[in-house]
């Protein structure tokens, strides 16, 4: 399974009327809400989704730097991908990493939360490379725990 497409969608919604909220002893006025949705697609048709940073710089980073890196990669190997870039671009990559994990969870037929323990310590001794265990490791851990 290889990634064939990496897409990002910037969305903006103008509020019907300004929203005024208290903010650090003053007031903040919100005129619109912005959001980004990122999506990866694999050659099997499987897709993974995640929210992304809602600004144009992040969209440029995805299209110019992150997309070329991810095309052809197997999303199930998200733990092993060694993406290197400037700090701000790495922050944007982390959003795409969630989409990789979402695609992996869909492939495995499990909730995304099963790929991400609450803490690295929760992964236990069977997980040496990454705090995120594989589904097969989780099954063996659960059966050992329940006996």
Task: Give the whole-angstrom CA distance, residue 73 versus residue 100.
Answer: 10
Same domain? For 56 and 12 the reply is yes
The CATH number for 110's domain is 3.30.390.10
pTM value is: 0.73
| Cβ-based neighbour number of residue 88 at 10 Å | 12
Q: What is the DSSP string of 21-43?
A: EEETTEEEEEEEEEEEEEEEEET
Same domain? For 20 and 50 the reply is yes
Whether the CB-CB separation of 9 and 36 falls below 8 Å is answered with yes
- For residue 127, give both structure tokens: 């997980």
Same domain? For 125 and 110 the reply is no
Q: Report whether pLDDT(125) > 60.
A: no
User: Can you tell me the mean pLDDT for 122-127?
Assistant: 45
pLDDT band for position 129 (cuts 50, 70, 90):
very low
Between 102 and 145, the more confident residue is 102
Domain count of the fold of the chain: 2
Task: Give the whole-angstrom CA distance, residue 88 versus residue 67.
Answer: 16
User: Can you tell me the mean pLDDT for 129-147?
Assistant: 60
Same domain? For 64 and 134 the reply is no
CA 39 to chain CA centroid, nearest Å: 9
User: Can you tell me the mean pLDDT for 102-123?
Assistant: 73
Whether the CB-CB separation of 6 and 62 falls below 8 Å is answered with yes
| φ, ψ of residue 13 in degrees (nearest 5) | -130, 120
Which residues span the domain enclosing 144? Answer: 120-147
> Which range has highest mean pLDDT (60-69, 84-93, 123-132)?
60-69
Torsion sign over Cα 91, 95, 96, 101: positive
Task: Give the whole-angstrom CA distance, residue 10 versus residue 37.
Answer: 7
Using one digit for the tens of pLDDT, what is the confidence trace for 18-55?
A: 999 998 889 999 999 999 999 999 999 999 999 999 99
Task: Give the whole-angstrom CA distance, residue 58 versus residue 14.
Answer: 21
């Amino acid at each position: 399974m290889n990634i064939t497409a990496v897409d990002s969608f910037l969305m903006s919604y103008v509020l019907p009327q300004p929203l005024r909220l208290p903010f650090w002893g003053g007031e903040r006025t919100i005129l619109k809400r912005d959001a980004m949705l990122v999506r990866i697609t694999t050659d099997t048709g499987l897709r993974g989704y995640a929210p992304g940073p809602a600004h144009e710089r992040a969209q440029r980073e995805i299209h110019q730097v992150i997309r070329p890196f991810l095309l052809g990669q197997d999303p199930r190997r998200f733990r092993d991908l060694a993406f290197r870039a400037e700090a701000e671009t790495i922050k944007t990559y982390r959003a795409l990493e969630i989409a990789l994990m979402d695609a992996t969870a869909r492939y495995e037929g499990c909730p995304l939360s099963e790929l991400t323990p609450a803490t690295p310590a929760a992964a236990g001794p069977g997980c040496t490379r990454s705090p995120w265990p594989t589904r097969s490791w989780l099954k063996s851990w659960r059966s050992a725990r329940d006996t």
